[in-house]
Amino acid sequence: MDHFLYRDGLLHAEDVAIQDIAEQVGTPFYVYSTATLIRHFKLFDEALDGLDHLVCFAMKAASNQAILKTLGNLGAGMDVVSGGEYLRARAAGVPRERIVFSGVGKTRSEMHQALQGGVRQFNIESEPELHLLNEVALSLGRTAPITIRVNPDVDAKTHAKIATGKSENKFGIPISRARDVYAQAAQLKGLDIVGIDVHIGSQLTELEPFVAAYRKLAELTKTLRSDGHNIRRLDLGGGLGIPYTRSNEAPPLPTDYGAMVKRELGHLGCEIEIEPGRLIAGNAGLLVSSVIYVKSGEDREFLILDAAMNDLVRPAMYDAHHDIVPVIEPAAGTEQAVYDIVGPVCESGDTFAKGRHLVAQQQGDLVAFRSAGAYGAVMSSEYNTRPLIPEVLVNGDQFAVIRARPSYDDIINRDSLPDWL
């Protein structure tokens, strides 16, 4: 469920008409619903009730400080994958003891930054990283709390570009080598082993891959404890999918996921960490765009929008589907047209949908891309010198611009010319 509904013939974000935002902010823009963010976080938090747990929002899904502050105020932790994300989380007021540092390529400076600033744990992805972190921790006179990410070689049954738990993926260490790597870590004086980390992919639409991974994780926990390691925390990653269409098929609910976690891992007495991103933010956001032209081609109609692939890259990158709806609610029985829906960027890949049925559109009409709250704004760029588009947060009957659209001067003046020019 989200809080984007038609009311009096107009699409609303909570109690604010999308059309009113468009008139004040201009298009394209992203808009997020506070009520939806809160609801989705609480669903996860309550699903793990009865277990010692922490829900860490995966910032790579949506990293605007207003979103982070909204979730942090509810008690959310943050899963960060770069020094920049770490600083964003801290700037949003998230306590250091609720920040988990993940990522396959942490640098020396990032390790130094997080150790100096304070961090809940590092999720280690390789043996070289293990030794570098130990070196940095010792140089600072600190002890770094760690989990080690194991790759359970489980097929997440998701898109190849967002699968992370198979043997050919770059993430983690093979689970077959876990005992050896944990033994190495135990000899390093700058490290404190607190648990195990596993993450098998994103946009999972069934629970079976999780079950397969968590059963391997449970056996590994017992084995490592028998080796003398104090395994007291299990980081389960994220990955639960969201519905990108309004069909009857839907991924499992957080309540189903929570029940499965309790069943598979609850007997181990470990603190549980989960790191959802998409499920919290995905359906909490829309991308709103205007129609520039309706163009007739040889055998099709093109709906040319002012949003482009640089604003929402998922369809170009993943062939991802987003429902696209008119901001003015069509009357029942209104005849639909068939469009290829595209942006203005000079790339054939700047295509959002082909053969999409939509009520007939005219120049200046507004459309909204649903399920655009995750991996939308964070993956945008200024390709074609197109300004990053505004982000707007709605709370009841109020809205605020939480990232302004830069001017062309802002963009161009970031360049500097060398002396010889």
Cα 102–Cα 43–Cα 21 angle in degrees, nearest 5: 85
How far apart (Å, rounded) are the C-alpha atoms in residues 336 and 354? 14
How far apart (Å, rounded) are the C-alpha atoms in residues 200 and 159? 12
For residue 160, which amino acid is it?
A
Given a contact cutoff of 8 angstroms between Cβ atoms, the answer to whether 294 and 337 are in contact is no
Given a contact cutoff of 8 angstroms between Cβ atoms, the answer to whether 376 and 285 are in contact is yes
How far apart (Å, rounded) are the C-alpha atoms in residues 114 and 192? 15
Say which residue the tokens 């396959």 belong to.
104
- Between the two ends of the chain, the Cα-to-Cα distance in Å is 56
How far apart (Å, rounded) are the C-alpha atoms in residues 85 and 100? 11
Catalytic: 270? Answer: no
How far apart (Å, rounded) are the C-alpha atoms in residues 352 and 323? 10
Which two structure tokens, joined as six digits, stand for 6? 């038609």
Helices (H), 118-265: 127-140, 178-186, 208-226, 254-265
How far apart (Å, rounded) are the C-alpha atoms in residues 225 and 129? 23
For residue 63, which amino acid is it?
S
Residue positions counted in the chain? 421
Q: What are phi and psi of 158, to 5 degrees?
A: -130, -175
How far apart (Å, rounded) are the C-alpha atoms in residues 136 and 108? 7
Cα 363–Cα 364–Cα 370 angle in degrees, nearest 5: 110
Residue of 331, 332, 346, 421 with catalytic role: 346
Q: Which residue, 129, 119, 172, is CA-closest to 149?
A: 172
Say which residue the tokens 């909570």 belong to.
14
SS3 of 44, please? helix
How far apart (Å, rounded) are the C-alpha atoms in residues 314 and 317? 5
In the 8-state DSSP scheme, what is residue 89? H
So which residues are the catalytic ones?
346
